[in-house]
Structure 1
Amino acid sequence: MNKKHVAAYAAVAAMFGIMGALVAVNKKDPPPLTTVMAPTGGKPHTAVDKLYSQSLNDLAGAPQPLAKWRGKPLVVNFWATWCAPCVEEMPELSELAGHDNGNSFNVIGIGIDSPSNMNEFAAKLKIAYPLYVGGMGGTELSRDFGNKAGGLPYTVLIGADGQVIKTYLGKLKFDELRADLAKLKS
């Protein structure tokens, strides 16, 4: 190889390096995938009925009927301790739940994880909303709400009437969630 070829290869390599850096700098997180479920003529969605018929253990191991959340808008967050975006969004979700104190909506978390992992995690962070152990059954429950791939985090916004208002796959955009919650108040 002569010096001309080396210089040409170096120039091409430098150009690709600059292009890669520009792409990395301008890369934005993809927006979460949101879905609006079809209305059911005022009746609760089947997935909501299934959710409210469940009894899941809290972190102390006591079974808790989820029907107690019926009648007020509910944010249901499916998460796991090993899911980085789940862990990243939990402090802000906790702040949102704590700020409202259940006055106009409630937030619950259903962990797709083991009770020991969830307890260890909860001991480190102060979460202002109830956490329930869903295990692998929680994955099936999230699939009932349209999460066909079983991806996490997966969040479901349920109206007071049992209608699924919206689902969010991926890390929450809290401006969007706050706007959706504000629409429920009006």
Structure 2
Amino acid sequence: MNKKHLAAYAVVALAFGASGAYVGMQTKEQAPPLTATQPPGVTGPVDELFKQSMPDAKGVATPLAQYKGKAMLVNFWAPWCGPCVQEMPELSALASGEEGKKLQVIGIGIDSPTNIAEFSNKYKISYPVLVAGMSGTELSRQFGNSGGGLPYTVLIGADGQVKKTYLGRLKFDELRKDLASL
């Protein structure tokens, strides 16, 4: 490749980069922060969650509406996310312990069905692990995860209201206090 071609490619790349940045700056609108309650009749992220049906690690469709009326801990995660994997044993213990009798723990995987299936076969997880793929990122954003960071966990009361959200690895002492207030 000669210097003329290299310079032309660099100019084209810069032009596309600059136009992409400009469009991104013009169209990027931050969602308002999620509040714990919403006015009656307003469809919110919990309603959107309950409309979903996602396959589990074995490919069996799981309608999330089956969890209506029960307190839930929804954990958005990915097999490649170190903090996500680190908190899974504690989430499994939570789900299979006393708290698990009053609370449904669900993992929503943001990755390919193959990767999540391989991960689930390798590790023993005592709660439902569902496959959302990249649409899980959009769902987590509806719950206030504007940056799309993982892990992202949502505590939902039995009344269907978001009680609290957690970005990053869970602090289980804090979570247990929050669960006690449900």
Report the TM-score range of the alignment, normalised by the length of the smaller protein.
0.7 to 0.9
- What is residue 125 of structure 1 aligned with on the other side? 123
Is residue 2:5 matched to residue 1:39? no
**Equivalent residues in 2 for 1:124-163 (5 A)?**
124-163=122-161
Partner SS for 2:134: helix
Partner deviation per Cα, 1:61-95 (whole Å, 9 max, x = no partner): 12110000110110000000000000000010111
In the comparison of the two structures, how many residue pairs are matched? 150
Specify the structure having the higher radius of gyration (Cα). Answer: 1
Q: Equivalents in 1 of 2:40, 2:177: separation in Å?
A: 22
Change beyond 3 A, Cα 1:173–1:182: same
Give unmatched runs, 5+ long, in structure 2.
Answer: 1-32
Identity %: 61
* Aligned equivalents of 2:35, 2:174: Cα separation in 1: 17
How do residues 13-52 of structure 1 correspond to structure 2 at under 5 angstroms? Answer: 37-41=35-39, 46-52=44-50
RMSD: 1.7
Gaps of 5+ in 1: 1-34
Q: Which has the higher contact order (CA 8 A, sep 6+)?
A: 1
The normalised TM-score by structure 2 is 0.78
In structure 1, the residue matched to 2:14 is none
CA–CA distance in structure 1, aligned partners of residues 95 and 138 of structure 2 = 25
Deviation at 1:36, TM superposition (A): 6.7
Q: Secondary structure of 1:135's partner?
A: coil
**Separation in 1, partners of 2:142, 2:156:** 13
Letter in 1 for 2:50: Y
Structure 1 ranges of 4+ moved more than 4 A:
41-45
Question: Which residue number in structure 2 is paired with residue 111 of structure 1?
Answer: 109
- Residues 73 and 159 in structure 1, CA contact (< 8 A), matched pair in contact too: yes
| Contact 1:43-1:162 at 8 Å conserved across structures | no
Q: Is the Cα–Cα contact under 8 Å of residues 71 and 102 in structure 2 kept in the other structure? A: yes
1:63 — aligned with what? 61
Amino acid at match of 1:107: V
